[in-house]
Amino acid sequence: MTAAHKIKQISLMVPILALFLLIGMSCTVHEEITIFVDDSGFSEFTVEIQPFFLEVLDDYSAFLPEEEADLSRLDAERLEAELLKSDYVYDATVHEASETFYSGIFHFTDARYILAKAEEDQRVDILTYTTTGRTQQVVIYIDIDNYSLLEDLVPILKDPAFSTFGPEENRDVTEEEYYEMVSYMLGEEGPGAIQTSEIRIVIHTSRPIIRQNGGRIVNPRQVVFTIPLIKFLLLHEPLMFSVSW
């Protein structure tokens, strides 16, 4: 095994993390990642939006310039285009079942570079994949320091309309204070919607799982990691999950 294969880095969940921030703070994201032996694979995902939030977006859009009015809307074609900007992603498809439910799939040729910046192949260390002998491991790690990498990849996240809800703007805000802010900005349904929203990441392994941390083993080759949305929005503590097989 070459040195290049000793340490491999992937960021498959970042497109979906960016996605729910783009469409608002009231949705549930589910992503399933399958990794093959040759580092290729595919990822399937669904996004379910709280219906009330569509009304909030309509009200918000009324105050935006025409060219920016749809930025906070989930657009299937736009998401496909964003995914296909990577030289390592192909066959990306997003379906709009309704205005509140979307699903999609994208295939990748090299998991190490899914979200590499094209001009420099700079990788994003949100999710890492390493091999030691025959043992493979995936580690998901998100904290206040590496959150800025998401903003570099998706510049719209720096827009005040979205950054207001993110961890960098709310470093010293308690959960109670955060929900009060959300209630004021999104209406009384906002806090409850966030409390019931989450990110689910399912990883399918090529061999039986040896150990995992922070998740739930569904079967010998499948682990589920669930992240409450509020934990990601505030990032008061690092989020870390891992699985080895």
125, two tokens? 């260390």
Q: Residue 49: helix, strand or coil by DSSP?
A: strand
The residue ranges of the chain whose pLDDT is under 70 are 1-27, 52-74, 112-125, 150-162
Q: How far apart are CA 46 and CA 156, in angstroms?
A: 21
Confidence (pLDDT) at 211 = 96
pLDDT at 127: 72
Q: Are 116 and 207 in contact (CB under 8 A)?
A: no
How many domains are there within the chain? 1
Domain of 135 in residue numbering reads as 3-244
Rounded alpha-carbon distances, angstroms, from residue 147 to 24, 65, 66, 158, 163 = 17, 28, 30, 11, 11
Q: What is the pLDDT of residue 1?
A: 39
pLDDT at 102: 86
Distance CA 142, CA 113 (A): 18
3-class DSSP state for residue 159? Answer: coil
What is the structure's pLDDT at 40? 85
β-bridge pairing 198-204 and 27-35: parallel
Distance, CA of 228 to CA of 230 (rounded, Å): 6
Alpha helices in the chain (DSSP H): 14-23, 51-61, 76-83, 147-153, 160-163, 175-186, 189-195, 229-234
Res 23: pLDDT: 44
